[in-house]
Amino acid sequence: RIDIFNLLSNNYSLLAWRTGFDQMIAGIIRSPVLGNGLGSTGFIEFESYNLDQLLSIYKFSLNIEDAYSLTFRLIIEIGLPLFLLMMYFFLKKILCLPKYLRVSRELPLSYRVPVVFNFLFSISIIIGSLIKEPLYPSSVLYLGTLLFVTSKID
């Protein structure tokens, strides 16, 4: 339900996500290479029409300290170059899957299926976190990262 181009939306989740995007842009402008440091999300100054709109319809206290997306949070805290490097290694391992499927044809199906399932499951967890789950201590992110890193797909 990411409808980022609907500027008249009153969807709390969408407005919060776009507020995180505005915060990420401000973080890149402030420190594009090294980032602003771990824990800096929510503590940098930024202007956001989306935040103003969200505060006008949602009167409760907001948590802007997580940027509403792990992608936004990582870019704010560690910088764009390191984030892109992490994504390069992530995509590089994903692109090894077809090679693994070709090479592992001789292996029993009972071995291949769990490996591929765990790998695809971990990818979906990590991509979901990058889109909309910014919390580092989330056990789901740890599970996805553990399954991804320990997979035998190289």
41-63: pLDDT as tens digits: 889 889 888 888 888 887 766 77
Q: With 90 as the cut, is the pLDDT of residue 117 above it?
A: yes
Cα–Cα dist 17/39, whole Å: 18
Tell me if 44 sits within 8 A of 35, measured CB to CB. no
CB 73, CB 41: distance < 8 Å: yes
**Identity of residue 131:** I
Q: Yes or no: say if 36 and 27 are a contact pair by the CB < 8 Å rule.
A: yes
**CB-based contact 54:16 (threshold 8 Å):** yes
Amino acid at 154: D
Query: Is the model more confident about 124 or about 67?
Result: 124
Instruction: Give the pLDDT confidence score for residue 116 in this predicted structure.
Output: 95
Q: What percent of the chain has pLDDT over 70?
A: 93
Report how far residue 31's alpha carbon sits from residue 79's, in angstroms, rounded to the nearest whole number: 7
Q: Which of 153, 146, 147 is nearest to 104 (CA)?
A: 153
pLDDT for 55: 84
Residue-wise pLDDT for 50-107, tens only, equals: 888 888 887 766 778 888 889 999 999 999 999 999 999 999 999 999 999 999 999 8
